[in-house]
């Protein structure tokens, strides 16, 4: 009795991402760039499952031919737009301006080939940065103390 027929008929494991209903919905938007759809799905999962954002949804940007995400970081907070892009994809000022003109705060998310996600908050114009938070020491004073102790 030979089992060679049974072994050749074993099914390959299915890719759960391609079977996911959100991924299927993003594909149905007919963006055309499968790498951008994959990046958008990874960001969607990060926002909804790991970061617990509320009301995360996806839509097609007809001007840019990309999938955009929207959601609320905290319940009742402002809606934020997320532009997920694979790291190899270029973006220009005109593209960012089109997304910023929607009126919502924008997060640009670079998605690495190893699924690393890097978020960068984009603003319309110059914004004063928030002061640093944490236990920081004044480096100059520390150096002065060391000099006094050595003398």
pLDDT at 137: 64
Q: Could you report the per-residue pLDDT of 74-99, keeping only the tens digit for each?
A: 999 999 999 999 999 888 888 888 88
Check: CB of residue 67 under 8 Å from CB of residue 29: yes
pLDDT reported for residue 94: 87
> What's the rounded mean pLDDT across residues 92-112?
87
What distance separates the 2 farthest-apart alpha carbons in the chain? Answer: 91
Domains contained in the chain, CATH given = 17-122 (3.40.1350.10)
C-alpha angle with apex 105: 129 to 59, nearest 5 degrees? 150
Other Cβ atoms closer than 10 A to 125 = 5
Strand partners, 71: 80
Question: Distance between CA 112 and CA 20 in Å, rounded?
Answer: 21
The CA-based angle 35-39-40, given to 5 degrees, is 115
């Amino acid at each position: 009795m030979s089992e060679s027929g049974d072994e050749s008929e074993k099914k390959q494991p299915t890719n759960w991402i391609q079977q996911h209903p959100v991924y299927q919905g993003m594909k149905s938007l007919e963006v055309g760039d499968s790498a951008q759809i994959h990046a958008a799905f990874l960001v969607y999962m990060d926002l909804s499952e790991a970061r617990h954002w509320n009301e995360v949804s996806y839509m097609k940007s007809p001007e840019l031919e990309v999938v955009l995400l929207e959601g609320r970081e905290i319940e009742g907070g402002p809606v934020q737009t997320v532009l997920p892009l694979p790291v190899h994809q270029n973006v220009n000022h005109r593209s960012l301006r089109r997304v910023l003109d929607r009126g919502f705060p924008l997060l640009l998310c670079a998605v690495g080939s190893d699924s690393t996600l890097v978020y960068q908050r984009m603003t319309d114009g110059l914004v004063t940065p928030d002061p640093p938070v944490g236990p920081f020491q004044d480096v100059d004073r520390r150096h002065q103390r060391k000099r006094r102790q050595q003398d």
